[in-house]
């Protein structure tokens, strides 16, 4: 609370400074633009950056923030995991310097109209597991059609012919399926439903959103850990949980059939493979779900750091370049140990090349 | 002689009081101004909250209209935002809470005022007030981590089995069409809310009952009434209205409770008579879904906040009115 209040004052002063810079720039507009931020980590910077948004990024942001201290000891970075939607509206309102978001700004979101260009920096990707609780079954195989029908309440028992057909030789019990879902709105739900909508649009009818109108038989838990707890305590349960929570809770998860027809287990490597096989738009938005590639895990999602191209002052711009540069550079090496996946080199290069667009 | 001097004294006092009012010291006037500002500030903040949330929810009100708002479909993926399931959940859990909490609270209040001696009553009051100190998130976490997993196999499941097919009771506590009973459910939320409103209902009832004149009570005893007859004949008629007010205040509190309800209600948008099924309430949906909401979705959540605000105001105003009327009546008696 307190840093935000201070930030607002600082932003006010920054606004005046920006005005002065703008005036001095327009006075010599014929001269070529200074290529500021070519070496973002060279000069020591001082100041505070506040970010808010995606809960998916929390562990990465926290780890990166503590490591970043050794790179820029004069800078303080704060990250508030309030959810992607709130993070974006905070950015639009100018109360934070950057937002973490699991999805691009939706076309129906009007907060950003007339506020200037927003740059997308993909920073992290990760797999969503199909975790389940079935005694004696350790390597279940599922395909998108079966997953869609389970989560629409159309497949209700584990020995349904559709599931046994995918798992020859595995004896599946006649137990009822309990589906475990998120009760809070979430980027995980958003991207899980996007996967089903992308992979099997003719089967999946519940749409894609941060909140889905699940069948009434669904059990809802708060956060990834809440869903994991339901799965762990309910025999016959299946749910969507991110990889780090699945590992932390000791859950068993299924291999999922990808667009090449292979059954792939979720891992940092198979998630990177999925992201490497997607088409990236010029503004660096993309969807990592259902990526092509023989080794791609299909339920993979991504998260961006969002900043305004035009910053109120040169110092803010330099600090953002240094911070995001770190997330895309050395920070990437933190990801595998946190059960996230590194960005594919191609996307990482594109994101780094975009850093110089942030100007004060 | 005495009456004359008394009249003169009172005239003198009235005169000096008027003189005081005319030229009060600066400190007094500053204090009055500060108190006035503080009072108005609360009102201003309340009005500003109502205005800004209403403003932000106009998209929803405008787009859905009355029929849309009071429809049962809440499906953000398809841009359908009907709030009826949440209104139903809020009402049903608050009613369960009141039904469970009121008899217990009134009994405790009677125990404290009419049965146990004063020096024993004090520690009991402290313990009950401690219930009010427990943060709602603790109630919620206890409910979802400890209570719900225990109550499902030990109580809900056998009850649902036993009452299957029984008229009325089967509809309330039997298994629903969507399956077996669930740990987090309407009834679990109602029960947790009952714990949470017990302290306020108890303390208000106790205050009301304590105002029963001792002379009336002793009169009843003098006529040969037993303690129960005295409570029924004297205490109850005297404090009925005040207790109704206390109940309504408890109802208002139960309706607005957010985190505990969000954790234990089960988060399923459905309207059903089956109390052991998961449901949803208005504050719970706002707390759960606000983080990732935008556009009309966010507007709808703020709109639910406005509806809840109006609902609790109505209940609270009603409660105050009932209490005030009762106080007037008993004073007159």
Per residue in A119-149, pLDDT (tens digit) is 999 999 999 999 999 998 988 999 999 999 9
Q: Band the pLDDT of B117: cuts 50, 70, 90.
A: confident
Task: Give the B window 226-285 contacts with A, CB below 8 Å.
Answer: 262-263, 266-270, 272, 277-278
Segment B96-119 shows an average pLDDT of 91
Length of chain B: 333
For B259-305, the pLDDT digits (tens) are 899 999 988 888 988 999 899 999 999 999 988 888 889 899 999 99
CA A260, CA A66: separation in Å to the nearest integer? 40
CA A60, CA B157: separation in Å to the nearest integer? 42
- In percent, how much of chain B has pLDDT > 90? 42
**What are the residue ranges of helices labelled H in B155-294?**
157-163, 169-173, 186-210, 214-222, 227-230, 236-256, 259-264, 282-289
Residue B278 domain boundaries: 57-332
Query: What's the pLDDT at B19?
Result: 58
Q: Band the pLDDT of A9: cuts 50, 70, 90.
A: very low
Which is higher by pLDDT, A8 or B69? Answer: B69
CB atoms B298 and A85 under 8 Å: yes
pLDDT of A194 strictly over 80: yes
In a domain, B50, yes or no: no
For A327-353, the pLDDT digits (tens) are 999 999 999 888 899 999 989 999 999
Q: Band the pLDDT of B15: cuts 50, 70, 90.
A: low
pLDDT of B67 strictly over 50: yes
In a domain, B173, yes or no: yes
Segment A143-156 shows an average pLDDT of 95
pLDDT of A307 strictly over 70: yes
Query: What's the pLDDT at B322?
Result: 81
For A252-294, the pLDDT digits (tens) are 999 999 999 999 999 999 999 988 888 899 999 998 899 888 9
pLDDT of A105 strictly over 50: yes
Q: Band the pLDDT of A189: cuts 50, 70, 90.
A: very high
CA distance A212 to chain B (A): 6
pLDDT of B179 strictly over 50: yes
pLDDT of B8 strictly over 70: no
| E strand or H helix at A212 | none
pLDDT of B14 strictly over 60: no
For A197-227, the pLDDT digits (tens) are 999 999 999 999 889 999 988 899 888 888 9
Query: What's the pLDDT at B65?
Result: 87
Are residues B29 and B161 located together in one domain of the fold?
Answer: no
CB atoms B76 and A209 under 8 Å: yes
**What angle in degrees, to the nearest 10, is found between the helix axes of A144-151 and A187-199?**
120
Query: What's the pLDDT at B169?
Result: 86
Which chain A residues touch B if contact means CB-CB below 8 Å? Answer: 55, 82-86, 88-89, 106, 108-111, 176, 183-187, 190, 193, 206-220, 222, 233
In a domain, B51, yes or no: no
CA A248, CA A232: separation in Å to the nearest integer? 12
pLDDT of B177 strictly over 90: no
Query: What's the pLDDT at B93?
Result: 95
Q: What is the dihedral of CA A332, A334, A340, A343, to 10 degrees?
A: 10
Which of A1, A28, A31, A49 is CA-nearest to residue A313? A49
Contact criterion met (CB below 8 Å) for B165 and B95: no
Are residues B171 and B292 located together in one domain of the fold?
Answer: yes
Are residues B17 and B70 located together in one domain of the fold?
Answer: no
CB atoms B76 and A190 under 8 Å: no
Are residues B120 and B11 located together in one domain of the fold?
Answer: no
In a domain, B184, yes or no: yes
Query: What's the pLDDT at B27?
Result: 87
B158 touches chain A (CB under 8 A): no
Q: Band the pLDDT of B101: cuts 50, 70, 90.
A: very high
One DSSP character per residue, A233-271 reads: HSTTEEEEEEHHHHHHTT-EE-EEE-TTS-EE---HHHH
Contacts of B178 (CB under 8 A, 6+ apart): A215, A216, A217, B270, B272, B277
Q: pLDDT averaged over chain B? A: 86
User: What does pTM read for this prediction?
Assistant: 0.80
Contact criterion met (CB below 8 Å) for B292 and A190: yes
Which is higher by pLDDT, A185 or A10? Answer: A185
Are residues B26 and B86 located together in one domain of the fold?
Answer: no
In a domain, B49, yes or no: no
pLDDT of B135 strictly over 60: yes
Number of separate domains in chain B:
2
In a domain, B246, yes or no: yes
Query: What's the pLDDT at A27?
Result: 39
Q: pLDDT averaged over chain A? A: 86
Q: Band the pLDDT of B1: cuts 50, 70, 90.
A: very low
CATH number at residue B177: 1.10.3720.10
Query: What's the pLDDT at B318?
Result: 86
Chain A residues whose beta carbon lies within 8 Å of the beta carbon of residue B74: 213
Are residues B141 and B251 located together in one domain of the fold?
Answer: yes
Are residues B119 and B258 located together in one domain of the fold?
Answer: yes
Q: Band the pLDDT of B186: cuts 50, 70, 90.
A: very high
B63 touches chain A (CB under 8 A): no
Q: Band the pLDDT of A243: cuts 50, 70, 90.
A: very high
ipTM of the shown complex: 0.75
Segment B216-226 shows an average pLDDT of 92
Are residues B299 and B152 located together in one domain of the fold?
Answer: yes
Find the closest chain B residue to A197 by CA distance.
B77
Are residues B30 and B130 located together in one domain of the fold?
Answer: no
Which of A108, A47, A107 is CA-nearest to residue A78? A47
**What angle in degrees, to the nearest 10, is found between the helix axes of A314-328 and A58-68?**
110
In a domain, B52, yes or no: no
Chain A residues whose beta carbon lies within 8 Å of the beta carbon of residue B269: 213
Query: What's the pLDDT at A39?
Result: 44
- In percent, how much of chain A has pLDDT > 90? 64
pLDDT of B50 strictly over 50: yes
In a domain, B88, yes or no: yes
Query: What's the pLDDT at A8?
Result: 43
pLDDT of A34 strictly over 60: no
3-state secondary structure of A128: strand
Q: Band the pLDDT of B176: cuts 50, 70, 90.
A: confident
Are residues B16 and B113 located together in one domain of the fold?
Answer: no
Q: Band the pLDDT of A25: cuts 50, 70, 90.
A: very low
Are residues B105 and B33 located together in one domain of the fold?
Answer: no
Are residues B69 and B32 located together in one domain of the fold?
Answer: no
Residue with tokens 């398809």, as numbered in its chain: B78
Query: What's the pLDDT at A32?
Result: 38
Q: Which residues of A45-74 are buried (b: 16+ CB within 10 A; e: fewer)?
A: bebebbbbbbbbbebbbebbbeebeebbee
For A63-74, the pLDDT digits (tens) are 999 999 999 999
In this complex, the residue of B270, B272, B294 whose CB is nearest that of residue A106 is B294
């Amino acid at each position: 609370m307190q840093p935000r209040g201070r930030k607002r004052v600082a932003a006010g002063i920054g606004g005046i400074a920006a005005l002065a810079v703008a005036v001095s720039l327009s006075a010599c507009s014929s001269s070529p633009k200074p290529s500021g931020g070519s070496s973002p980590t060279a000069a020591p910077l001082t100041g505070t950056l506040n970010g808010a948004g995606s809960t998916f990024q929390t562990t990465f942001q926290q780890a990166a923030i503590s490591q970043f201290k050794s790179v820029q000891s004069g800078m303080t970075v704060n990250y508030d995991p309030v959810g992607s939607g709130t993070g974006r509206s905070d950015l639009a309102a100018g109360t934070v310097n950057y937002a973490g978001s699991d999805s691009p700004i939706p076309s129906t979101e009007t907060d950003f109209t007339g506020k200037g260009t927003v740059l997308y920096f993909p920073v992290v990707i990760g797999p969503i597991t199909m975790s389940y609780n079935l005694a004696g079954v350790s390597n279940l195989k599922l395909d998108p059609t079966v997953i869609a029908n389970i989560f629409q309440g159309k497949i209700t028992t584990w020995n349904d012919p559709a599931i046994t057909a995918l798992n020859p030789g595995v004896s599946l019990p006649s137990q009822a399926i309990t589906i475990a879902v998120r009760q809070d709105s979430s980027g995980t739900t958003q991207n899980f439903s996007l996967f089903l909508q992308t992979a099997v649009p003719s089967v999946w009818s519940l749409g894609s959103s941060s909140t889905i109108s699940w069948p009434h038989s669904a059990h809802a838990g708060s956060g990834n850990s809440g869903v994991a707890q339901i799965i762990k305590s309910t025999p016959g349960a299946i749910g969507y949980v991110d990889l780090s929570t699945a590992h932390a809770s000791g859950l068993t998860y299924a291999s999922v059939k990808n667009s090449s027809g292979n059954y792939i287990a979720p891992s940092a490597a198979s998630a990177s493979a999925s992201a490497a096989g997607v088409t990236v738009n010029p503004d660096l938005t993309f969807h990592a779900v259902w990526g092509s590639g023989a080794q791609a895990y299909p339920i993979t999602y991504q998260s961006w750091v969002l900043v305004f191209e035009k910053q109120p002052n040169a110092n803010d711009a330099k600090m953002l370049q240094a911070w995001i540069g770190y997330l895309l550079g050395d920070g990437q090496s933190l990801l595998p140990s946190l059960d996230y996946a590194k960005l594919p080199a191609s996307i990482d290069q594109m994101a780094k090349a975009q850093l110089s667009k942030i100007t004060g | 002689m005495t009456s004359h001097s008394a009249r003169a004294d009172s005239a003198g006092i009235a005169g000096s009081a008027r003189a005081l009012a005319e030229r009060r010291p600066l400190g007094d006037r500053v204090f009055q101004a500060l108190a006035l500002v503080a009072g108005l500030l609360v009102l201003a903040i309340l009005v500003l909250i109502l205005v800004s949330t209403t403003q932000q929810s106009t998209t929803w009100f405008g787009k859905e209209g009355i029929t849309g708002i009071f429809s049962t479909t809440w499906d953000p993926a398809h841009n359908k935002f009907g709030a009826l399931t949440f209104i139903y959940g809020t009402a049903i859990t608050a009613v369960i809470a009141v039904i469970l909490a009121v008899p217990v609270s009134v009994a405790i209040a009677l125990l404290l005022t009419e049965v146990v001696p004063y020096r024993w009553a004090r520690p009991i009051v402290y313990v009950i007030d401690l219930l009010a100190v427990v943060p709602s998130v603790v109630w919620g976490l206890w409910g979802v981590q400890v209570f719900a997993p225990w109550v499902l196999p030990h109580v809900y499941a056998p009850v649902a089995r036993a009452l299957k097919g029984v008229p009325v009771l089967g509809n309330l506590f039997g298994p629903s069409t969507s399956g077996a009973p669930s740990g987090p459910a309407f009834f679990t939320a109602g029960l947790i809310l009952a714990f949470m409103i017990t302290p306020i209902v108890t303390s208000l009832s106790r205050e009301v009952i304590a105002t029963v004149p001792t002379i009336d009570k002793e009169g009843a005893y003098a006529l040969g009434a037993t303690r129960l007859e005295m409570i029924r004949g004297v205490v109850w008629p005297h404090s009925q209205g005040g207790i109704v007010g206390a109940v309504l205040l408890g109802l208002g509190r139960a309706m607005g409770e957010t985190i505990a309800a969000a954790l234990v209600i089960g988060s399923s948008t459905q309207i059903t008579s089956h109390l052991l099924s998961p449901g949803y309430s208005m504050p719970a949906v706002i707390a759960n879904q606000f983080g990732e909401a935008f556009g009309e979705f966010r507007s709808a959540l703020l709109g639910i906040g406005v509806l809840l605000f109006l609902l609790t105001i109505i209940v609270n105003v009603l409660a105050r009115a009932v209490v005030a009327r009762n106080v007037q009546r008993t004073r007159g008696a």
